[in-house]
Amino acid sequence: MEDEKKKKNKKNKRRKNTQHKTAGENANATVVNGNGMNEHEHDGDQVSELIEVQNGALQQHAAVDLNAHHRQNGAQSNSFSPGNLAEDEKQKWLQREAVLKKTIQQLQVENDSHLQKEATLEETIKQLHNEKNVHIQKEATLEDTINQLRSINDSCLLKKAIFEETVKQLENENHSHEQNKADLEMEVKQLKNERDFWLQKEVTLFQIKILNHTVLRGNAHQTIAYQGQFFQHYVPCLNT
């Protein structure tokens, strides 16, 4: 009988340790799941629901542990009283509940922080999109201005080429006119020389005529008349 009681007590202890280990793992899993959901889904309500489900599981494990303790106390009634054991278990679960509540609060704070960061990032992205659109508009305006300036530049280059060709033609014409002027001046000079030659020749002939007339007729008055005609007609021509 003693051996059977010892075996039962050992089984109850192993079962109790297994249940406590399972409860601790479930609590850690709840915290991990809460963190994962906070980081990826930002959903505090789902974390709270998981914690509540886990609390129900922990309470069930507590009831099992309490029954095990009662069975153990039935075998060892002199060691602990049922009231003290229940109070100890209650304190343990209250402590675990306080830890879980604190964890939930921390997760909610982190969730709020992530939501705030997400809102800030969305606002920043929106501003960057607006700035990008402004830069794209400015770029389009600048490209249009550049195209207009290129068109104006091409037009100016064409006009410049036309003006240069016109200037070249005018220079050629001016050179031709200067050449013609030089030729005309040379021709005028030659004509003046010829005119002077013929005037001089005519003067000489006229003087000879006067002398001949004077010698032949001896008329001084007629000679003076011829000399007057000479000065009126030939002297102005010689001075030009």
pLDDT digits (tens, 9 = 90+) for 79-117: 446 678 888 888 999 999 999 999 999 999 999 999 999
- Per-residue confidence (pLDDT) for residue 40, from 0 to 100: 42
- Per-residue confidence (pLDDT) for residue 72, from 0 to 100: 52
For residue 24, pLDDT beyond 60: no
pTM metric for this prediction: 0.38
Structure tokens at 129: 């999109």
Q: How far apart are CA 153 and CA 149, in angstroms?
A: 6
Report whether 43 contacts 112 (CB < 8 A): no
Q: Give Cβ neighbours of residue 111 (< 8 Å, ≥ 6 apart).
A: 38, 42, 43, 44, 47
More confident site: 144 or 2: 144
For helices 82-217 and 44-75, give the axis angle rounded to 10 degrees.
160
How many CA within 13 A on the CB side of residue 93? 19
Local confidence band at 29 (pLDDT 50, 70, 90 cut-offs): very low
Structure tokens at 41: 């889904």
- Per-residue confidence (pLDDT) for residue 15, from 0 to 100: 59
Local confidence band at 33 (pLDDT 50, 70, 90 cut-offs): very low
Report whether 100 contacts 48 (CB < 8 A): no
Q: How far apart are CA 60 and CA 10, in angstroms?
A: 21
More confident site: 187 or 57: 187
- Per-residue confidence (pLDDT) for residue 7, from 0 to 100: 58
pLDDT tens by residue, 164-212: 999 999 999 999 999 999 999 999 999 999 988 998 888 888 778 777 7
More confident site: 60 or 182: 182
For residue 230, pLDDT beyond 70: no
Q: Give Cβ neighbours of residue 210 (< 8 Å, ≥ 6 apart).
A: 223, 226, 227, 230
- Per-residue confidence (pLDDT) for residue 133, from 0 to 100: 97
Q: How far apart are CA 121 and CA 42, in angstroms?
A: 15
- Per-residue confidence (pLDDT) for residue 39, from 0 to 100: 40
More confident site: 236 or 172: 172
More confident site: 113 or 10: 113
Q: How far apart are CA 205 and CA 201, in angstroms?
A: 6
Report whether 103 contacts 28 (CB < 8 A): no
Report whether 65 contacts 20 (CB < 8 A): yes
Structure tokens at 235: 């002297």
Helix and strand counts by DSSP (H, E) for the chain? 4, 0
* Residues written for the chain: 240
